[in-house]
Amino acid sequence: MIPISDINPAKNIPYISRLFIIFSALVFIFIQPKNNVDLINFFYKYSAIPCEVISRSQLAANQYYFNDCNLAGDYLIFPDKNILFSIFISLFLHANFIHIIGNLWSFWIFGNNVEDKLGKTRFILFIALSGFLSVLGHSIINQNNIIPVVGASGVVSALMGAYLYLFPNARLLVLVPFGIFFPTTIKAKYFMLFWLLSQLFIALQTSNISWEAHLSGFIFGFFILKIFNYKRYTF
């Protein structure tokens, strides 16, 4: 089930959502290397790596070559890397065209309405916190993992959680695959249930999809609004 849009127009212009989308696209087009080998090195240099996040130490050459973060580090590959900054840089990096299109399209669908209700300053804080916690959640579960974490999907998942809290009955236009894709509408709460079940399915598979970051972000997005008792719109 692929979301296309929501039938829930925002009242204000979502400047922060637009800036996030535009900046991510510019990074993908003009800054990220196009060669696969260079791109992998770029990700290791700038993006978050669970092993580094948990140990708070840059990845060493022997840890990389033996794929084992528990080894005593010798020569640091990128000794000047700022691990805290790498968590936030990761949010703007994407592995490929499909990855960035899926994330930014979903960011637009759910982000504009959440920004509308939070306001710009709190929305910026929401993005930063959800990005940090989603990467941290992934890293805690994968402490010995040296694979870079890239993409805005943790933030998107938080936006989905916030959207579910704010607009559980808003209708989404989705494409449903049954041999061919056909469009239909579905309430947000039912789409989110389908999405949560898909994350549990992914968790049972061997996959590079970070369900840990997705669920961490989603839980944060829903409960942070519940904790602060934001008004819900149950139309």
68-119 residue pLDDT tens: 888 887 789 999 999 999 999 999 999 999 999 999 999 999 999 999 999 9
Q: Supply 217's token pair.
A: 């972000």
* pLDDT at position 1 over 90: no
Domain ranges within the chain, ordered by starting residue: 2-227
**pLDDT above 90 covers what percent of the chain?**
81
Burial class (CB in 10 A: 0-12, 13-18, 19+), 162: buried
Name the most confidently modeled range: 59-73, 93-107, 189-203: 93-107
> What residues does 76 pair with on adjacent strands?
60
Q: Are 89 and 56 in contact (CB under 8 A)?
A: no
Q: Which residues contact 85 (CB under 8 A, 6 or more apart)?
A: none
pLDDT beyond 80 at 235: no
Mean pLDDT of all residues in 202-220: 88
Give the pLDDT band (50/70/90) at residue 218. Answer: very high
User: Is the domain defined by 2-227 classed in CATH 1.10.10.10?
Assistant: no
Angle at CA of residue 97, ends 29 and 126, nearest 5°: 80
Task: Count the Cβ atoms, other than its own, within 10 Å of residue 80.
Answer: 7
pLDDT at 156: 98
Cα torsion angle, 82, 54, 121, 170, sign: positive
